[in-house]
Amino acid sequence: MSLTETLPVPALAAPAATPRLAQALAGLRSRVWRGALALILPLAVLALWHAATLNGWVAQQILPAPALVWTTLLDLWHSGELWTNLAISLTRVAWGFSAALVIGLALGVAMGLSKTAEAYLYPSFKAISEVPVLGWIPLLIMLVGIGEAMKILVIAKAAAVPITINTQQGIRNIPQPYLEVARVYRFNPRQLWLKVIFPSTLPSLFNGFRYGLTNAWLSLVTVELLASSEGIGYQMVWGRQLFQLDVVMACMLVIGLVGLAIDLFLQITETRLLRWRRAAF
């Protein structure tokens, strides 16, 4: 709480005159505070990592020193390898995730709105989604080859599962009174969708998106391991195969940070959209 104690002045200075400013400042302060909290664990891990390599607690070949990983990261950055690979991976995730959005939303809406659709689709959907990607890969290679299509399909499958489930749940959980009110006001289908269904399923949808994106990002590495010669996942695997674990760690850092950035972006978008929803109700 030291942060609030050191900065009490502006908040007290003109509380009545500029409540919005005070509110914004308080918001900023809590955000800074939360950012600082988020750094504690990584910094502790970094310290532990440093100590472990310094004292030789673990083999340096398996866990290279932080400084070496940093140098490797810079090397990869300057040589342009990192950007090329990252761009390729992001493109794959973008395509896979887009496909997952289409499939997941369609399936989720269908199964959420119609019990009949659910009866037809849910068992197959569940069975397919429970089988690990590894099992599908030989079949996928047969069907679409080992090119981009296979990679995008694997990513799409991984991302579509949480999107479907959350969409379905979101629609299922729309409070019955909302729908009744809509019926009383004789909403047309367009109004029903825009004013009731979409806003009230939004939090659940975003849950699905975020899980979906995490899954997409995770399965990227799996598929780039299996058959690829480019991409950030491939670069990580390549580092491992050549026993250059510093390259692996550098890639892990990049993958983690990019994943975090994407999730943050979704979070912000969600907050924006939910603010609009609050205003609408």
- Binding status of residue 61 toward another protein by CB under 8 A: yes
Which of 150/196 has CB closer to another protein?
150
- Binding status of residue 238 toward another protein by CB under 8 A: yes
Token pair belonging to 273: 């959209």
- Binding status of residue 234 toward another protein by CB under 8 A: yes
CA distances from 175 to 99, 170, 180 (A): 30, 10, 9
Q: Which of 59, 74, 87, 128 binds another protein (CB under 8 A)?
A: 59
Which of 62/261 has CB closer to another protein?
62
- Binding status of residue 142 toward another protein by CB under 8 A: yes
Task: Assign 272 to helix, strand or coil.
Answer: helix
Q: Which of 93, 100, 133, 237 binds another protein (CB under 8 A)?
A: 237
Residue where the block lists tokens 């090119």: 147
Q: Which of 240, 252, 263, 266 binds another protein (CB under 8 A)?
A: 240
- Binding status of residue 220 toward another protein by CB under 8 A: no
Residue where the block lists tokens 């490797």: 72
* Spatial distance between the Cα atoms of 115 and 122, rounded to a whole number of angstroms: 10
Residue where the block lists tokens 């949808």: 205
User: What number of chain residues touch another protein (CB under 8 A)?
Assistant: 25
Which of 196/226 has CB closer to another protein?
226
CB count, 10 Å around CB of 220? 26
- Binding status of residue 227 toward another protein by CB under 8 A: yes
* Spatial distance between the Cα atoms of 256 and 81, rounded to a whole number of angstroms: 18
Q: Which of 101, 107, 137, 216 binds another protein (CB under 8 A)?
A: 137
Radius of gyration for the alpha carbons in the chain, expressed in angstroms and rounded? 24
Q: Give me the phi and psi of 259, to 5 degrees please.
A: -60, -45
Amino acid at 227: A
Rounded to the nearest whole angstrom, what is the least distance from the CB of residue 232 to another protein in the complex?
Answer: 14
Residues engaged in binding another protein (CB under 8 A): 58-62, 137-138, 141-142, 145-147, 226-229, 234, 237-238, 240-245
